Amino acid sequence: VTSFLNRKTLWRVASVTLVGSIALTVFATFFGVQIKGASRWVHFAGMSIQPSEFIKPAFAITAVSLMLAALPLIALANAASM
């Protein structure tokens, strides 16, 4: 599904997912359900999810987007130093 999104929309979805997952991870730290010894689970819509698993791909996409946005600035700085 994400392969059909343009770059800007993908960055927005990843950023919202990242912020939401971090908030759910903090919530799970204090109020999470313990499953198999780990209290990092949150019950949501009749199922248990581990919000930290959503952080990984969202962080990767957000980090790459920020690096790509900084690329022209880096090229400009390199050109000015020569």
Please report the DSSP string for the chain in residue order: -GGGS-HHHHHHHHHHHHHHHHHHHHHHHHHPEEETTEEEEEEETTEEE-THHHHHHHHHHHHHHHHHHHHHHHHHHHHHH-
Higher pLDDT, 65 or 35: 65
What confidence tens digit (pLDDT) does each residue in 19-43 have? 999 999 898 888 877 777 777 788 8
pTM of this prediction exceeds 0.95? no
What confidence tens digit (pLDDT) does each residue in 7-20 have? 888 889 999 999 99
Would you state the pLDDT for residue 73? 80
Would you state the pLDDT for residue 1? 61
Residue 48: pLDDT over 70: yes
